[in-house]
Structure 1
Amino acid sequence: MRGRGFALALVVLVPVFAGCAGTGAGPSTENPIEPCGQLDTSFEPTTEHNPRLRFETTNGTMTIVVYGQQVPFTAGHVNRLAQQEDTWEDTRFHQVFPDEAVFGGDPRSSNDDRDAWGSGGYHFNTVDEHHQFLRHDEPGIVSLLSPQPNGAGSQFVITLSPSPSLDDRNPVFGKVVEGLDTARELSYTPTDDRNRPLYGAHLENVTWIDPPEPAAPPPELSAYGYDCTEVAEPGDTAEHLIAVRNTGPSILDGTMETSLDDVEGWGATITNAEQVVVSSGQTVVYGLNVTVPEDAETGTEKTFDVTFRGEESSTSLELTTRVGELGQPAVDQDKVHLRYIGVLEDGRAFDTTETIYVDEASLTWFKDPPAQPQAIPLSPSPETLNKTQPGDLIQRARLGETVVGFIAPEDAYGRQAYGENNLGGRLLVFQVQVTSAR
């Protein structure tokens, strides 16, 4: 596969002097939320540029397209499983549910001890790769069973009906494009009282079919800013939250370089800069932190042209920092009103107070309708501030200031269990604005 370099460059535009634009201090301070850019939501996973697997079973043959361009790490794991003779070949579809799903891939199902079927194949060290556009939304979706975050092994499931409960638990790696009737016939195999086949249902042989030529077209990039104008006081930092998506049909393979200009005392850094938009359809969230000079005048605006660049594709956003006055931070025991959004590392929102974010660009998926602005005691406690509400960000934000935080799994829902809304094992990203405190 030919590598395609990826660079992230910031170009500083000429400052704009717009007069005094201070927000003022006081018990209530609010700055408008102004999204910008657009994430292309028309993505469809391609089949013509991906390899295929042929499953030969006692009931017939199935051909599965493996989404190597969309989930390259999972596809690489599947490749290793398919090439190991003692993993998939000569095993059984060890559990079947008529017109719902068939389960296979357990090496222990190669023997006649039914009590052991479904208990093996979890000794692999994997990282679950969940793709926001690969869902269990139709018959024929193939995914790896993952009983806990990053716990996928060799067992897989082929769906025969929409199965949304598997989303963001089982990493999808493919789709049956030929022979779905074979899977459906397997689902009707006579079983015992635990849906384990009494006979037949063998996966006899597994072979790879190379993808057809020509090679996939180059990646295409698009970008979205959750709030593209932020306010900061002299000497402070304005924090922007942005998302970049590879909307093309092929992997963006290479490294990301960050070029940051420091003009007239202004500076900028990128949070999460080590993450590269890699696979087809993937989104990565970044933070842009702009440092305002100590001597900056109130009303000054500086716009950064943020360019995300691959070898054959690029996309840009203009992000503005305005020098203005902010209120004081909340203090212990204050109750604060928030405007916030919480997103996953792929840009999907799981919690928000703002209807402005409920659109195709942010791909809101949990809150419908979104939560209303709420008063939350500043001092965190299990009763008043759960882990989907960014307590540390609230405590450091000044009134009217927008702050961004990247919360590691161990500081949120942990790495060992999926938890509420499948947030376990996930990086959580928050953008928070405190609008009032009392």
Structure 2
Amino acid sequence: MKNVIAAAVLTLLFFGACTPKIATITADKKVAKVTEPVQFNYSGSKSKSVRWDFGDGTKSEEMNPKHLFPASGNYVVTARANFGNKNKEVKMNIEIKHPDHCLVLLETPMGNMTIRLYDETPEHRDNFVKLVEEGFYEDLLFHRVIQGFMIQGGDPNSKNASPESMLGSGGPNYTIPAEFNRSFIHKKGALAAARTGDQVNPQKRSSGCQFYIVQGSPQGESMLTRIEDQKGFKYTDEQKKIYGTIGGTPFLDQDYTVFGEVIEGLDVIDKIAAVQTGRADRPVKNVTMKMKVLK
């Protein structure tokens, strides 16, 4: 009887050792938009490691990675499972579609933001896209940061600027006509153009390159009513709700052109706004930026 049991165990061990290694990969979506991350999962025989190649120049050694593709197109994703003396390679096709709107990815040491540019402000949109594609904003600083208000950047003089440098006056030697739109308010995450003051700029023309992103704070009904009376316009009920919940800086409305908004990464605004600042509200430790248009 013992010999029979021993033979059975040996048989199981033999077949277990000879069992083919199985590797399977799945994704939560095989067709996605350029702003949608794709969740990948590995399943099958237990492997020592899995190496992923997403077909866009990036790799991962996470077992179940989440990946955001940088541009539209068709990608071949490869997962290579390691079983010690053997590797098993599995491939999957992923289609990434063009975004519905003009989008820009803004990368910082604090995290990334995805920005939607408004079609209703075409001069600001086209100028911003042109500068991004030219690499104008590469390694520039958020040179002015005020918690509870906004974070400002885009001064070309900020690149490699010394800690003593006074920043905020640089530009591309042109300005852009104001494109005010009652639909676009200075809510948290709003992207707006910086500009010089009314005394020297009564037409409220925008800087050709400097911008700010609103942090702001929740606003009460009385504040909004006061601004309506001062500026001669009315907020919609939805706009009042937005200002009362996520907040913003309504006193800037219809004085500075809002031409986009952060649609992903609002928490990054808070992280940047919380950094230690020194003279002229410049961060003590540089907060750099990189941008690319998502196509």
TM-score, normalization by structure 1: 0.35
Contact conserved, 2:206 with 2:256, CA < 8 A, in 1?
no
Within the alignment, does 1:201 sit opposite 2:287 as a pair? yes
| 1:124, distance to aligned residue in structure 2 (A) | 1.7
Distance in 2, Cα, partners of 1:122 & 1:170: 18
**Per-residue CA shift, 1:120-145, capped at 9, x if unaligned?**
11522421211121111x21001011
Distance in 2, Cα, partners of 1:50 & 1:144: 19
User: 2:178 matched to which residue of 1?
Assistant: 128
Within the alignment, does 1:119 sit opposite 2:169 as a pair? yes
| 1:104, distance to aligned residue in structure 2 (A) | 0.7
| 1:105, distance to aligned residue in structure 2 (A) | 0.8
**Per-residue CA shift, 1:213-240, capped at 9, x if unaligned?**
xxxxxxxxxxxxxxxxxxxxxxxxxxxx
| 1:155, distance to aligned residue in structure 2 (A) | 0.6
Contact conserved, 2:193 with 2:206, CA < 8 A, in 1?
no
| 1:193, distance to aligned residue in structure 2 (A) | 3.5
The within-5 A match list for 1:59-208 is: 59-68=110-119, 70-85=120-135, 87-113=136-162, 114-121=164-171, 123-136=173-186, 138-147=187-196, 148=201, 149-161=204-216, 162-203=248-289, 205-208=290-293
| 1:167, distance to aligned residue in structure 2 (A) | 1.7
- 3-state SS in 1 of match to 2:115: strand
Distance in 2, Cα, partners of 1:106 & 1:94: 8
Measured at CA, do residues 151 and 159 of structure 1 come closer, stay the same or move farther in structure 2, by a change above 3 Å?
Answer: closer
Distance in 2, Cα, partners of 1:154 & 1:208: 16
**Per-residue CA shift, 1:57-89, capped at 9, x if unaligned?**
111110001112x1112111111121222x311
**Per-residue CA shift, 1:80-103, capped at 9, x if unaligned?**
121222x31111100111232100
Cα RMSD for the two superposed structures = 1.6
Contact conserved, 1:146 with 1:169, CA < 8 A, in 2?
no
**Per-residue CA shift, 1:231-256, capped at 9, x if unaligned?**
xxxxxxxxxxxxxxxxxxxxxxxxxx
Measured at CA, do residues 163 and 122 of structure 1 come closer, stay the same or move farther in structure 2, by a change above 3 Å?
Answer: farther
Higher helix share: 2
Instruction: Give the letter aligned to residue 157 of structure 2.
Output: R
Alignment gaps of 5+ in structure 1: 1-47, 211-438
The within-5 A match list for 1:242-281 is: none
Distance in 2, Cα, partners of 1:115 & 1:189: 19
Distance in 2, Cα, partners of 1:99 & 1:141: 14
Distance in 2, Cα, partners of 1:200 & 1:115: 12
Distance in 2, Cα, partners of 1:126 & 1:118: 17
The within-5 A match list for 1:2-401 is: 49-68=100-119, 70-85=120-135, 87-113=136-162, 114-121=164-171, 123-136=173-186, 138-147=187-196, 148=201, 149-161=204-216, 162-203=248-289, 205-210=290-295
Instruction: Give the letter aligned to residue 49 of structure 1.
Output: D
**Per-residue CA shift, 1:248-298, capped at 9, x if unaligned?**
xxxxxxxxxxxxxxxxxxxxxxxxxxxxxxxxxxxxxxxxxxxxxxxxxxx
Contact conserved, 1:142 with 1:176, CA < 8 A, in 2?
yes
Instruction: Give the letter aligned to residue 130 of structure 1.
Output: F
